[in-house]
Amino acid sequence: MLHYIIQVVAFQVLFLVVYDLFLRRQTFFIWNRIYLLVTSCLSLALPFIKIGFISDFGSEIGVITLPEVVLGSTEELSPMSQAAMNVAGISTEPATTPVWQWVLLSGSIVFLVILLIKGLQLAMIVSKSPKRWQNNILVVRLLNSHQAYSFFNSIFLGSNIAKEDQEVILEHEMVHVRHGHSLDIMWFQILKIAMWFNPAVYWYHNRIVELHEYTADHKVISSDQKQSYYENLLKQAFGVQTLSLTNAFFSKSLLKKRLHMMQQGPTGRRNYWRYALAIPLIMGMLTYVACEKEVLESNDFTQEIEVEQLSFIIDKDQFPKISDHPGYLRIEKFIAQHPEYVIKLELAQNESKLSVIHKNNLPEDSFKITTDDELSMYLVTDKQTLINKIQNYSNEAEVPYSVIDQAPTFESCDGLVGDERKKCTSMEVAKFVNQNFNTNLALDLGLTGRQRISVFFKIDKNGDVTDVGARAPHEALEEEAKRVINALPKFIPGVHHDETVVVPYSLPILFQVQ
């Protein structure tokens, strides 16, 4: 959540910098309004958007994910590493809500109350003041007041405003009503409730109010009435205060800017190119989001371990009441604390796998089912479906781990079967990486803290390691990881239907630097 908030604030600030530098002084009022509204919404959505051709590698169904290898000084983390190697390991404890989240929630409640109070004040003014309908617009007369403002289809006019001025003011406020400017104001009021701590929201609100007044001024005035319009603004604007929910005719803070903008001629069409500046800005933001690591919201190692160890094997007999499985409660608690994750169920013939997966990483062929307690569960496939697909593959096809008859392993593990064989292979790979990875590399690069490396490779029909890829915070770590994996001893190749096959793997490595 905190990471998302930081991204939104950064994106909004960048959009506003472009607006202030290139668009604010232009008379393209409609386009400027569209820009402010669209970018304020787009900044909220961009952190969730991924570009497929530059998005990160991800573990897919059929890829063996080996237990995480922890490098460096790991006295503090070694118990967690051991737990990660046990798929039915430690239980998760309910996480407490951080103090900063309570602070954000409290601030939002305060701003919501303030908005409700302002709305109530407007409702009381309407109910107590004389009013009349003019076409579809309600004109409310404010007794003993110089104020003039509008809110949705209601226009409020002070009784102390000179009669000769009321007509032009009424016309000005009707522009706000016809253009739906109150909708813009309410949108940014809602943003203030949700992100009251975000300075960019107030920046947006200031710019949209300013733009509303420019729009109404230019719609009302003509060359022969500019002078009287100026005089009216100067005469009436001082000492008048209005509610922030409304579009106010008299605004002391905007007076100088409005007068300056009214004197400015129309902007030439050749300046439309300025809006194209938003395109590379948006593409840069999308690239940044797409290139981030799979775990965005927290760098907390414990949560990563929790996700990996929340994986349980389920016997065929347990499917009629899957929620009774001992590991299901642990998953249920985790999902409640991390709504961005869902339950994944991978079916096989005699036993299947129950685990959690991020919503963004669900395979395309999964479909949604509902459990007895109404939690969303995603069924990936069943064994027969996978076998049918595999039979249609060429001889070079990769065989998913969930259906392979005999997974690749080392000679030292060849005599073992089932889970023991898998565990032995994982331990041998982890041991080899620990012994051969250059742990001094981090010091040479000046790195500190936890450095996560994700490695992907395949074991071909000859038992050789091929197609090695890596993702890491530094290119040197990626190259070192590739070097170590390429140096793995020869495997006994995987066998399916009495034929050797290619099997894909993924290996997470945690480089712990003290």
Give a yes or no: residue 342 inside a domain: no
Domain boundary residue, one of 203, 238, 267: 267
Asked if residue 258 and residue 400 are part of one domain, the reply reads: no
> Which range in 299-303, 405-409, 459-463 is most confidently predicted, on average pLDDT?
459-463
* Block residue for tokens 């739906």: 180
Asked if residue 472 and residue 432 are part of one domain, the reply reads: yes
Q: What percent of the chain has pLDDT over 70?
A: 68
Asked if residue 81 and residue 104 are part of one domain, the reply reads: no
Domain boundary residue, one of 226, 250, 267: 267
Name 501's Cβ contacts closer than 8 Å, sequence gap at least 6: 397, 398, 399, 404, 461, 493, 494, 495
Asked if residue 200 and residue 224 are part of one domain, the reply reads: yes
Give a yes or no: residue 354 inside a domain: no
Name 433's Cβ contacts closer than 8 Å, sequence gap at least 6: 69, 71, 484, 485, 507, 509
Q: Please state which of the ranges 347-361, 458-472, 491-505 shows the lowest mean pLDDT.
A: 347-361
**Residue 298 confidence (pLDDT) above 70:** no
Identify the pLDDT of residue 285: 80
Asked if residue 243 and residue 133 are part of one domain, the reply reads: yes
Q: Give me the residues paired with residue 353 across strands.
A: 313, 346
Give a yes or no: residue 366 inside a domain: no
Asked if residue 211 and residue 123 are part of one domain, the reply reads: yes
Per residue in 409-418, pLDDT tens?
888 888 887 7
Name 192's Cβ contacts closer than 8 Å, sequence gap at least 6: 111, 201, 202, 205
Domain that holds residue 65: 57-87+395-514
Asked if residue 188 and residue 116 are part of one domain, the reply reads: yes
Task: Return the higher-pLDDT residue of 302 and 168.
Answer: 168
Asked if residue 436 and residue 474 are part of one domain, the reply reads: yes
Asked if residue 73 and residue 206 are part of one domain, the reply reads: no
195 near 8, Cβ under 8 Å? yes
Give a yes or no: residue 253 inside a domain: yes
Task: Return the higher-pLDDT residue of 270 and 464.
Answer: 464
Per residue in 320-344, pLDDT tens?
456 666 677 777 778 777 777 888 7
What's the whole-model pTM score? 0.51
Give a yes or no: residue 69 inside a domain: yes
Identify the pLDDT of residue 301: 44
Domain boundary residue, one of 267, 299, 323: 267
* Alpha carbon 271 to its chain's center: 33
Per residue in 354-407, pLDDT tens?
788 887 777 766 656 555 444 556 666 544 544 444 444 434 456 655 566 777
260-264 contacts at long range (C-beta below 8 A, 24 or more positions apart):
261/25, 261/27, 261/214, 261/217, 261/218, 262/217, 262/218, 262/221, 262/226, 262/229, 262/230, 264/25, 264/27
Domain count, the chain: 2
Give a yes or no: residue 211 inside a domain: yes
Asked if residue 250 and residue 158 are part of one domain, the reply reads: yes
DSSP assignment of 99-140 equals HHHHHHHHHHHHHHHHHHHHHHHHHHHHHHS-EEEETTEEEE
Q: What is the dihedral of CA 347, 353, 359, 361, to 10 degrees?
A: -80
**Measured between alpha carbons, how far is 486 from 502 in angstroms, rounded to an integer?**
16
Identify the pLDDT of residue 59: 35
Band of residue 248 on the pLDDT scale cut at 50, 70, 90: low
Specify the amino acid at residue 228.
S
Band of residue 297 on the pLDDT scale cut at 50, 70, 90: very low
Asked if residue 76 and residue 173 are part of one domain, the reply reads: no
Identify the pLDDT of residue 500: 87
Identify the pLDDT of residue 84: 34
- Tally: H helices and E strands in the chain: 16, 17
Measured CA to CA in angstroms, residue 402 lies from 62, 389, 398, 419 at distances of 6, 13, 12, 13
State the DSSP code for 89. Answer: -
Give a yes or no: residue 456 inside a domain: yes
Average of pLDDT values for 257-267?
Answer: 75
Average pLDDT score over the chain: 75
Give a yes or no: residue 135 inside a domain: yes
Asked if residue 231 and residue 204 are part of one domain, the reply reads: yes
